[in-house]
Each structure stands twice: as C-alpha cells, then as structure tokens.
Amino acid sequence: MYPNNTIHNSDRFFSPGATSLLVLFFLLAGALLWKIAFNARVYVYGAARECLKAYVVAGAWQMEKLTSDHFYLKYWPENRAEAEMVLETAERFYGPVAEDFSFKPRGKIPVILYQSREELNYSFGWEATESAMGVYWAGAIRVLSPREWIDEKDPARVRELFASSGPMAHEFTHLAVDYRTGGNYPRWFTEGVAQYEEYKLTGFHFNDPSGSLNKKLYSMEDLTGGFDELPNQSLAYRESFAAVSYIVNVYGEDMLHKLVRQLGLSRDFDSALQEVLGIGTEELETRWQAWAMENQDPDGQISLAIYALTLDSYSETWLSKERINFFNVTKNCKKGRNK
C-alpha cells in the first residue's frame, strides 16, 4: 500500500516531546486565565490556539500543499490522489456546517493528511495502539489516509465511503464549535454536537456494543469532569450523542445553536442551559436519560426512528441520496474512528 522507502517519522515532523512542552506551557497559562475577565480569557485562548496551529503547520513544512476555497491540505507526494479526495470532501461539508453554526473563518483551515496510523499517532506522541481516523486540535484538522481503513479498490467506492463514514464532518464541527465558543464548552458537549452534526449530514453513528445505554450510565459530572479518562469511552460518546439528540428532538435544533452562541458570550454551561432551555445541568441529566430509556432499541441505542426526524428536516443535502444505503457501508471499513 505504501512505498518501502518511506522516510521515518522522526525525519519528517517535530518531535512529540517538543509538542508536549509547548502544550504544557499553554495549559499552565490557561490555568491562569480563569482569574481574569472572560473576554480576556477568550482572547488569550484564541491567541494560544493560533500559535499552536502555526506550530502544527510548521511541523509539516516538508509536505506538499493543496488549496481550495476554504481549506489548505498538507500531504506527501505519493498521496496526491487521496489528498484531492480529502480536500473535496472537506469542501462539501464546509457549507452545511458553516451555515448551521454561523461560522465564518478568517482564513483557510489547515488539514494535514497522514499516510499511516503510526505517523498520525507520532504527531501527538500517542501510543501505537490508538486508532483515530481524524483529530481536531488547536485550529487544525489531522486526517488518517483513507487507504489505511477502507478495504476497497474502486476509487469511486473509496470516495463514497470516505464521505459517508470518514472524519471530515465530525472534525470540522469540532473546529466550528471551538471557534464559535472561544473554547468555552465541556468536552462531552463538543463530542455530542460533532456526533449529532455528523449523523445529520452522513447518517453515521457509533455502534460499539460496549456503548449500550442498557447499563449504569455516567453522570453529567463524570462526563464533564474527566471525559477522556472514563474507562468506557464508547459509553461516554454514546451518552454525549444521546444528550445532544435529546436537546434537538425535544427543544429543536435552533435551541442547540443558541446554546452554542450563549457559550460564546461568556456564560458557563449551566448558566447557558438555564438561559436557553430553562433547566440546569442536573435537570438535563435526569431528562435526557429518561428520554433515552423511552426511545432506545433492544441494543441500547437510540431508536433510528427518532433520529429520522432529524434526517427528514435535512433531506436536501448533497449526501441525502446516499443515506438509504449508508448502514451497509461500514462493513467495508477497518476498525478506527475519529476523536
């Protein structure tokens, strides 16, 4: 699949140790931000994000570059065809996501294409066992080569699978929420919103049995306090998706977008909930869990009939004709998903 003369990761990117030191600096600086006014925090957070983005892009200086109307993509020459496909898919999702979140970036958005899991994991200093297909962090989207997880030879089929079950809609939503809120959101919320938007646009949703809602659920305090450290990540993702789906199905998608806007106007999450939905975080937990129990299927997933209400409202999107066949395509994909 890949040439034998591939350059080792250490020759191609800044070391993860240097990245870790830089991240640590900004985390320590971030701890001080809570002692100053919100507007100042947003400004400093935004400045830190842009510095980190510049650092990430600089680390890919040896790569080739493709540009489109709203993105630029860094890639290795041997991956030119995949780079064009990734860039095309990013542009297809740009319109609906940007419109939904009233998001207008000031410049082109960087996307970096990695040709192996090893290369992607190295860029973050992760263990080799990590299997993300895409990651948003610090203003940039990192994507694993589709050839690493799609078991298809036909280029048209690869293109279809990458659009319908790849990471672009999910990661671009993360980026839009991050910029619209100035980073002011709980981790579970951005994951729930990204999964919801992705499902609306592509029909994809996580279906790992270990994420079944037919078990003791994490509390909102658990999800808010340490989302990434929870032992059952599939359940944490499923719950975040269910909570956001509850908001959309009961209050309407406009209220979800209003909640995002309130987070961008200095409110903490509980205050934003009170302002938009008239309930606090504890009441949201009680309500979404009760709603999920009433609307789940025997496998502990929210009934697709409930989600269909959302899809019906978005029937004119470019991908709408593919949804009818979507749930048969994931059998052609190797294990791995986005973060």
Domain check: are 172 and 209 in the same one?
no
Q: Can you tell me the distance from the alpha carbon of 30 to that of 235, in angstroms, rounded to the nearest whole number?
A: 29
- Is 42 domain-assigned? no
Domain check: are 130 and 205 in the same one?
no
For the entire predicted model, the pTM comes to 0.81
Domain end marker among 130, 158, 176: 176
Q: Can you tell me the distance from the alpha carbon of 226 to that of 215, in angstroms, rounded to the nearest whole number?
A: 19
Which of 98-112, 151-165, 172-186, 299-313 is the least confident region?
299-313
Q: What rounded mean pLDDT belongs to the chain?
A: 81
Domain check: are 240 and 318 in the same one?
yes
**Structure tokens, 162:** 């990458």
pLDDT score for 100 = 96
The crossing angle, in degrees rounded to 10, of helices 168-181 and 187-202 is 140
Domain end marker among 176, 208, 237: 176
Identity of residue 68: S
Domain check: are 188 and 327 in the same one?
yes
Domain check: are 190 and 145 in the same one?
no
pLDDT score for 326 = 36
Domain check: are 163 and 204 in the same one?
no
Identify the CA nearest to 2 among candidates 131, 114, 161.
114
Is residue 251 predicted with pLDDT exceeding 90?
A: yes
Domain check: are 210 and 114 in the same one?
no
Domain check: are 166 and 206 in the same one?
no
262, with CB counted inside 10 A (0-12, 13-18, 19+), is buried
Q: Can you tell me the distance from the alpha carbon of 185 to that of 236, in angstroms, rounded to the nearest whole number?
A: 16
Q: How confident is the model at residue 324 (pLDDT cuts 50, 70, 90)?
A: very low
Q: What is the mean pLDDT of residues 44-57?
A: 90
pLDDT score for 308 = 53
Report yes or no: 289 and 207 within 8 Å, Cβ to Cβ. no
Q: Label the pairing between strands 71-75 and 109-114.
A: parallel
CATH of the domain at 112: 3.40.30.160
Structural domain of residue 91, as residue ranges? 54-176
| Residue bearing the bigger pLDDT, 247 or 132 | 247
Residue with tokens 């993702």: 237
Q: How confident is the model at residue 299 (pLDDT cuts 50, 70, 90)?
A: low
Strands across the sheet containing 140-144? 64-67, 71-75, 109-114, 140-144, 134-137
Domain check: are 259 and 285 in the same one?
yes
Report yes or no: 128 and 157 within 8 Å, Cβ to Cβ. no
- Is 47 domain-assigned? no
Residue with tokens 């929210």: 302
Domain check: are 235 and 303 in the same one?
yes
Is residue 32 predicted with pLDDT exceeding 70?
A: no
- Is 325 domain-assigned? yes
Domains held by the chain: number:
2
Q: What is the pLDDT of residues 130-180, one digit of tens each?
A: 667 889 999 999 999 998 898 888 989 999 999 998 999 999 999 999 999
pLDDT score for 180 = 96
Q: Name the percent of the chain lying above pLDDT 70.
A: 73
Q: What is the pLDDT of residues 60-101, one digit of tens each?
A: 999 999 999 999 999 999 999 999 999 999 999 999 999 999
Positions of E strands within 104-263: 109-114, 134-137, 140-144
**Structure tokens, 217:** 């659920």
Q: What is the DSSP string of 92-141?
A: HHHHHHHHHTT---SSPEEEEEESSHHHHHHHHT--TT--BSEEEETTEE
Q: How confident is the model at residue 26 (pLDDT cuts 50, 70, 90)?
A: low
Domain end marker among 176, 200, 227: 176
pLDDT score for 73 = 97
Domain check: are 169 and 194 in the same one?
no
Is residue 41 predicted with pLDDT exceeding 90?
A: no
| Residue bearing the bigger pLDDT, 209 or 28 | 209
Domain check: are 277 and 301 in the same one?
yes
Q: Can you tell me the distance from the alpha carbon of 180 to that of 301, in angstroms, rounded to the nearest whole number?
A: 30
Is residue 280 predicted with pLDDT exceeding 90?
A: yes
